[in-house]
């Protein structure tokens, strides 16, 4: 990620983190709207725990953006878990779209084109490493 994108993500993260449950609720609602079949993957999951894990994972990865070795190591482990769940390229693309939309909604007027691009860079970086760890090619993320 560019230093500018890293700075924007870090600058906006506290605002996202403080609204963690609401942002996660919005993310999953958007994901399930884009892909209703994805809801079945979470049928037996405690969503309160899932939301907490999701926010913790993003925060931990943002914390180590300047340490590529740790970032890749953590992201590879997450990618392997997602491969075990059967996550596909399409799943990653839809999740990226849902995440960008949820973060954008949470940031409101602060969701500038530069901020959007910074979060897109973050997601493409993380999802690309995760997908490669699971034996898939990287993705591009747009809004669906």
Contact 103, 14 (CB under 8 A): no
pLDDT digit string, tens, across residues 65-81? 888 888 888 887 777 77
Q: Tell me if 141 is assigned to some domain.
A: no
Split into its structural domains, the chain has a count of: 1
Q: Which CATH number characterizes residue 54's domain?
A: 1.10.490.10
Q: Give me the percent of the chain exceeding a pLDDT of 70.
A: 90
Q: Tell me if 140 is assigned to some domain.
A: no
Range scoring the smallest mean pLDDT among 1-5, 102-106, 131-135: 131-135
Q: Tell me if 139 is assigned to some domain.
A: no
At 143, is the pLDDT very low, low, confident or very high (cuts 50, 70, 90)? Answer: very low
Measure the CA–CA gap between 135 and 23, rounded to whole angstroms: 29
Q: Tell me if 119 is assigned to some domain.
A: yes
Q: What is the DSSP string of 104-127?
A: HHHHGGG--HHHHHHHHHHHHHHH
Check residue 137 and give its pLDDT.
57
Q: Tell me if 143 is assigned to some domain.
A: no
Q: CA torsion sign, 109 to 110 to 114 to 119?
A: negative
> In terms of residue numbers, what domain contains 125?
3-133
Q: Tell me if 68 is assigned to some domain.
A: yes
Check residue 144 and give its pLDDT.
46
pTM to 2 decimal places:
0.85
């Amino acid at each position: 990620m560019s230093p500018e994108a890293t700075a924007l993500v870090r600058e906006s993260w506290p605002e996202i983190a403080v609204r963690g449950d609401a942002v996660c609720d919005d993310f999953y609602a958007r994901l399930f709207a884009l892909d209703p079949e994805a809801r079945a993957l979470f049928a037996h999951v405690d969503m309160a725990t899932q939301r907490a894990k999701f926010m913790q994972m993003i925060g931990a990865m943002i914390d180590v953006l300047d340490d590529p070795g740790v970032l890749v190591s953590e992201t590879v482990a997450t990618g392997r878990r997602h491969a075990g769940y059967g996550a596909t390229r399409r799943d990653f693309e839809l999740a990226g779209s849902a995440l960008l939309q949820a973060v954008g909604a949470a940031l409101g007027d602060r969701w500038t084109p530069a901020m959007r691009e910074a979060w897109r860079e973050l997601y493409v970086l993380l999802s690309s490493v995760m997908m490669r760890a699971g034996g898939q090619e990287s993705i591009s993320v747009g809004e669906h």
